[in-house]
Structure 1
Amino acid sequence: MTTDLAAPEIFGSTTTAGRGKRPRPPFGVSIVAILAVLIALFSLIPLGYVIFMTGATGWETATGLIFRPRVGELLLNTILLIVITVPLCLVLGVGGAWLVERTQLRGHKWWAVVLAAPLAIPAFVNSYAWVSAVPSLAGLWSGVLIATLSYFPLVYIPAAATLSRLDPAIEQSAASLGLGAWRTFFRVVLPQLRIAMTGGGLLVSLHLLAEYGAFAMIRFDTFTTAIMVQFQSTFNGTAGNMLASVLVFLCLILLLVEVRSRGSARYARVGSGAQARALRLPLHAYQVPAQLSLLALAGLAFGLPVWFVLRWIIAGGPGIWSTAEFLPALVQTLGYGMIGAVATTVVAFPMAYLAVRHPSWFSKLLELSNYVTSSMPGIVVGLAFVTVSIRLVPGFYQSTGLLVAAYVLLFVPRALVNIRAGLAQAPKELDEAAQALGTPPLLSFIRVTLRLSAPAAAGGAALVFLGIVNELTATLLLSPNGTRTLATEFWSKSSEIDYAGAAPYALLMILISAPMTYLLFQQSKKVAGQ
């Protein structure tokens, strides 16, 4: 019989169950840890590339490139973008989720889907539409506008799912103690949204650090756009790598803040809890303002982009449609999206399992490695893979496997955050009870933990699929010869100011992403038992 070889000081102790026996993990913790370590080492390839290139540059050259006015300007732009956009996304996401799940909002089931819909529109398509509407858009506040409208669903979806499964007895108890609606929300409900808010806020921040197309269209300079300019115009790898090193440092700060703010509170419960539905608060005079506010938000985030995409299609006429051009791009986009989503979800599971079931400095360090890589812009990940593959495994260069590997590293946090939340809602006591009754560890894991976390994993896979469909820079660098995706074709057309020619590709991306966004929303509801 195999035994768990993991050191308790690293992985933590396990509670006893049954007749005094120490229940074994579904998979040996040591096996999961080995897989997680291998994944973490692989994910650090881009970071190792940046560190190596930084070291090869030399101290004097590196400090000269980092401590200069241009870097200060980019740093200020990026920090202001995050500091302004993330709170706005939290307010819109949590506020929308509360209106949909906890008030007598008319048409709340319809609004629940509508508020998730903007996630189906890529940020650079959103920017393309807003530039079409207001050609003078540029600068920080334009970037905040587009980023907020593009990314607030990353907070809304997990917040709505958490509210829908929150035990109504908690709020009823608060009300019985004399707390009003607002005090109940801030003192009881909001703390229960900590995981959703910190996870969603982190995803928004990582998107802001890595986004290129949306900000390039409105001429707003961030570290990512500056790195792309360096590599595209002069292929100045030294200056670009120095900018990337600062970007990685920003990511580390964000990750540390997220880990500390997440806390160690437990949010799972054993048993079904109260069966009653939560009492929805009447809006009374606030019904009309609430409806108008949600209508304005949906119109700006979803209606306006779709309207201008359709307007450009009508302006272009039938001549902009060609099956020979669209069919290969469509097929390859779907193929890469599905393969990458499955691979990323599988890779994320060992890391999420350790983070939830065996939290420690070790598991947090492994998790941190994935977030660091995913925060790096696609061009840095792409260039790292190009360099490593050419020098070490030339046959792997410009292969499908290399491109899928880049997708995994770029989007693993999307799966990791969802799987982690799903595992947090699957009490380990149920798995331990199954083992105490004689069920083998692997079988109890499949029947209990995997079954309960499957909806969250599916939601993570849907998020990864959306990311791959909309990915641009790494695809341009790593895709095999002849590869054409909807995103790269859209960017090629829009870069040439052929907005009518780019519109069909934008429409196809929206049409592909919309069902996956709806699936993501439905899966989040399944986690809530609805």
Structure 2
Amino acid sequence: MPATRRLSSRALTIAAAVVAALALLPVVYLLIRAGEGGASHAWDVLSQPRTLEVIVNTVGLTAAVTVGSMVLGAPLAWLTIRTDIPGRRLLTVLLALPLALPSYVAAYAYVSFLGPRGLLQSWLEPLGVERLPSIYGFWGAWFVLTIISYPYVFLTVRAALRRMDPSAEEASRTLGQSALGTFRRVLIPALRPALASGALLVALYTLSDFGAVSMLRFDAFTRVIYIRYGLIDRSGAAVLALLLVALAIVVLVAELRSRRAGAAALHAGARRVCLHSLGRWRWPAFTAAMTVFTVGAALPVGVIGLWLVRGISAGEPLRLTGELVGNSLQAATLAAVAVVVAAWPIALLAARHQSRTTRMLESASWIGYALPGVVVALGLVTFGARQAPVVYQTMTMLVIAYLVMFLPLALGPMKASVQQVNPAWEEASRTLGHGPVRTFTGVVLPLSRPGVLTAGALVFLTVMKELPATLMLAPPGFSTLATQVWSATSENFYGRAAAPALALVVLASLPTALLALRDEIRPSRPGRPGGPPQQPPGPSQPADREPGRELAAVASR
């Protein structure tokens, strides 16, 4: 390996180690807290039958939500990228909209609509329906978390599909494979890294979610940990939180093993793909996609709108100010920029410099996403008060909390995009005399742009609705739309919560709309797959502006 390449790898490793150390701060706090109670207290907590029940509940819910999200998200990504389904741009925005809903708001909306004495039951009462089945418990939690989590798979797979070279699929069809055979033997293996990343995001989100399981009265780890903290048994809560970390590590190991078989993902092609014609299935496919959107976003937003109407009718003030909107935008923007920047060293290492150290750093960066927000916040409160009082109760500490919690949201799509950048283009850039920085900014960054945009949008969306860390770490007097919604709903003032909740949905949909406009597939040039290749630009011809086009030609020679 050349000296410059070794130096670049070493610098990336140092930067990634700093990021991983930040992500592990809450785990260090948990170890300290768990040790304060002594070994006997820890064993008492672990040996309780209740602990085994919570483990089974959490593992079962996580597996069910992950499978459900993949079943919904992956086909929808393929429909909006590779087919001529009507309204692809609009569908991309609508299908990602459930990410804008805080889990506790979505859970209450579904409870108030589908609950035993909810709106639907009141509408059916004239027909003799006196009570609907209970939505509380496992099935209610699975339904709510799946319908608001599938966009993680949808957006991650969509970014991978956009940059995938279609030549292998075309070769498969030319050799006589059917569409189904090509999908199973070519497309699925190539998408395995993106599928694994999306599934990992869903699994860790489910492990760390507090709002939905609490509202739906399902005893997962997060709810039990929160109750123990409320009972001032912080040592016992830390022991349970360490079990949650162990579950997250199990999920990480499973994801790493499943990824190895799909490590040789197809690289980004120099041309774009043609869209598959759905024929008579265009409108049925559109109807199915719109049904998912209706259930996942339109229904809860409609219930929120009903809160707003009822609140206004009852004389409830809207309580939506420019300061709340500005604070939410400020926090989300700062977090998106910080997390994307911090994810680059780990994403580059994982995609280009695989080693045992790289795998350890990558795995460590995912841990914070599996921890309840209250645990991350308490860990950083302890660290800030004792070790870094300068940043305690400042915006810097709040952004660090967001980085610890949401780094995996950026790491997954960014790594998948970097893996699809042909390494030969980077080598060609180095051959032409460009250094590591110039190669990164001129080749890797432009070609990885879909993954970077997806990463920033995911972080922005998630920070907009994040609650526990914002409540505990925000500077004095700093209130966001999410905290306003929580304070109102916790006191059962749902009309008061409606306006900020609707503002959350509107603001969170903006980055998704930008992604849809920038990532929309155009037909391949010169018009169809397999057509005559374009001539390279001559001295008097302007070069194609697609990043890496010229370097790809150099590498091919």
Normalising by structure 1, report the TM-score. Answer: 0.90
State the SS of the aligned residue for 2:393.
coil
Separation in 2 of the partners of 1:25 and 1:124? 48
Q: CA deviation at 1:151?
A: 0.7
How far off its partner does 1:452 sit?
2.1
Does residue 120 of structure 1 match 2:117? no
Shift of residue 382, structure 1, vs aligned partner = 0.6
Whole-Å Cα distance in 1 between the matches of residues 365 and 244 of structure 2? 15
Residue 131 (1) aligns with residue 111 (2): yes
Map of 1:245 onto structure 2: 242
In the TM superposition, what whole-angstrom CA distance separates every residue of 1:308-365 from its partner, at most 9, and x where no partner exists? 1111111111743456x53322111111111111111111111111111101111110
Measured in 1, the distance between the counterparts of 2:318 and 2:177 equals 62
Which of 255, 260, 266 is the matching residue for 1:258?
255
Gaps of 5+ in 1: 1-13, 15-21
Matching residue of 1:9: none
Mapped to 2, the partners of 1:104 and 1:281 lie a distance apart of 6
- Residue 396 of structure 1 aligns to a residue in which SS? coil
1:278 corresponds, among 274, 285, 294, to: 274
Give 1:272 deviation, angstroms: 1.3
2:54 counterpart of 1:59:
no
- Which residue identity lines up with residue 169 of structure 1 in the other structure? S
Q: Does 1:150 align with 2:175?
A: no
Measured at CA, do residues 437 and 287 of structure 1 come closer, stay the same or move farther in structure 2, by a change above 3 Å? closer
Q: CA deviation at 1:108?
A: 4.1
Given that 2:205 and 2:369 are in contact with CA atoms closer than 8 Å, whether structure 1 keeps it comes out as no
Please tell me whether residue 74 in structure 1 is matched to residue 54 in structure 2.
yes
Paired with 2:194 and 2:95, the residues of 1 have a C-alpha distance of 16
Counterpart-to-counterpart distance in 2, 1:526 and 1:391? 52
Partner of residue 366, structure 1: 361
Report the residue type matching 1:381 in the other structure: V
For the 8 Å contact 1:54–1:62, the answer to whether it is kept is yes
Task: Return the alpha-carbon distance in structure 1 between the equivalents of residues 499 and 288 of structure 2.
Answer: 30
Q: For the structure 1 residues 333 and 526, does the alpha-carbon distance in structure 2 shift closer, same or farther, using more than 3 Å as the test?
A: farther
Q: How does 1:107-506 map to 2 (within 5 A)?
A: 107-136=87-116, 137-232=135-230, 234-263=231-260, 265-269=263-267, 272=270, 277-278=273-274, 280-282=276-278, 284=280, 286-287=281-282, 289-317=284-312, 319-322=315-318, 326-506=321-501
Q: Deviations over 1:176-205 (max 9, x none)?
A: 333222222112211121111100000001
Counterpart residue number, 1:509: 504
Residues 1:26 and 1:308: Cα distance change in structure 2 (over 3 Å): farther
Contact 1:455 1:526 in 2 (8 A): no
Task: Give the partner amino acid of 1:207.
Answer: Y
Tell me the percent identity. Answer: 34
What does the per-residue CA deviation read over 1:379-413, in whole Å, with 9 as the maximum and x for residues that have no partner?
Answer: 11111111122222334322221111111100111
Q: Determine the structure 2 residue equivalent to 1:17.
A: none
Three-state SS of the structure 2 residue aligned to 1:115 is helix
Within 2, Cα distance between the matches of 1:292 and 1:455? 27
Aligned residues: CA RMSD: 2.4
Q: Alignment partner of 1:152: what SS? A: helix
User: For the structure 1 residues 224 and 246, does the alpha-carbon distance in structure 2 shift closer, same or farther, using more than 3 Å as the test?
Assistant: same
Task: Give the partner amino acid of 2:37.
Answer: T
Q: 1:525 and 1:492 mapped to 2: Cα distance?
A: 39
Task: Say whether the 8 Å CA contact 2:91–2:290 is kept in structure 1.
Answer: no
Contact kept? 1:103, 1:283, Cα under 8 Å: no
TM-score by length of 2: 0.85
Report the CA distance between 1:261 and its aligned residue. Answer: 0.8
User: Could you tell which deviates more after superposition, 364-373 or 291-300?
Assistant: 291-300
**Structure 1 residues 237-246 or 428-437, which shifts more?**
428-437
In 2: Cα distance, 1:320 partner to 1:516 partner? 31
Using the alignment, how far apart are the partners of 2:160 and 2:435 within structure 1?
31
Residue type of the partner of 2:297?
F
Aligned-pair distance for 1:301? 0.4
Give the deviation of 1:244 after TM superposition.
Answer: 0.1
Matched, 1:96 2:91: no
Contact 2:190 2:266 in 1 (8 A): no
Range with bigger deviation, 67-76 or 446-455: 446-455
Contact 1:309 1:506 in 2 (8 A): yes
Q: Is the 8 A contact 1:312 1:503 kept in 2?
A: yes
User: Is this contact kept in 2: 1:459–1:521, CA < 8 A?
Assistant: no
Query: Aligned partners of 2:345, 2:518: CA distance in 1, in Å?
Result: 21
The question of whether the paired residues in 2 share the 8 Å contact of 1:37 and 1:366 is answered with yes
> Which amino acid is 1:119 matched to?
L
Deviation, structure 1 residue 268: 4.7
Structure 1 counterpart of 2:375, which letter?
A: V
Are the structure 2 counterparts of residues 432 and 381 from structure 1 closer, same or farther at C-alpha, using a change threshold of 3 Å? same
User: What SS class does the counterpart of residue 386 from structure 2 fall into?
Assistant: helix
Higher mean C-alpha deviation, range 255-264 or range 452-461: 452-461
One-letter identity of the residue aligned with 2:57: N
What's the offset of the Cα at 1:77?
1.2
Is the contact made by 2:89 and 2:517 (CA closer than 8 Å) also made in structure 1? no
Q: How many Å apart are 1:501 and its aligned residue?
A: 0.9
> Structure 2 CA distance, aligned partners of 1:381 and 1:505?
25
Q: Residues 526 and 206 from structure 1, CA distance in 2 versus in 1: closer, same or farther, beyond 3 angstroms?
A: farther
255-264 vs 437-446, greater mean Cα deviation:
437-446
> In 2, distance between residues paired with 1:314 and 1:457?
39
Residue pair 1:309, 1:503 contacting (<8 A) in 2 also: yes
CA displacement, residues 84-107 of structure 1 (integer Å, 9 cap, x when unaligned): 111111111112223333445344
Which segment drifts farther, 143-152 or 212-221?
A: 212-221
| Whole-Å separation in 2 of the counterparts to 1:369 and 1:164 | 29
- On the 8 A contact 2:454/2:515 being kept in 1, the answer is yes
Distance 2:208 2:16 in 1: 24
Corresponding pairs, count? 505
Distance 1:526 1:414 in 2: 23
- The residue identity in structure 1 corresponding to 2:491 is E
Verify the 8 A CA contact 1:26 1:444 in the aligned structure 2.
no
Q: 1:163 to 1:271 in 2, by over 3 A?
A: closer
Pick closer, same or farther for the CA change 1:123–1:183 going to 2, 3 Å. Answer: same
Structure 2 distance, partners of 1:290, 1:462, is: 26
**Amino acid aligned to 2:187:** V
After superposition, give the CA deviation of every residue in 1:121-152 in whole Å (9 maximum; x if it has no partner): 22222112112212342100000110111011
Shift of 1:515: 0.5
List per-residue Cα deviations over 1:279-334 (Å, max 9, x = no partner). Answer: 515354x55643443232111001101111111111111743456x5332211111
Q: 1:493, 1:501 within 8 Å by CA — same for their partners in 2?
A: yes
Give the aligned partner of residue 10 of structure 2: 30
Say whether the 8 Å CA contact 1:123–1:214 is kept in structure 2. Answer: yes
Deviates more, 1:256-265 or 1:149-158: 256-265
The answer (yes or no) to whether the contact 1:207–1:375 under 8 Å persists in 2 is yes
The residue identity in structure 1 corresponding to 2:398 is: L
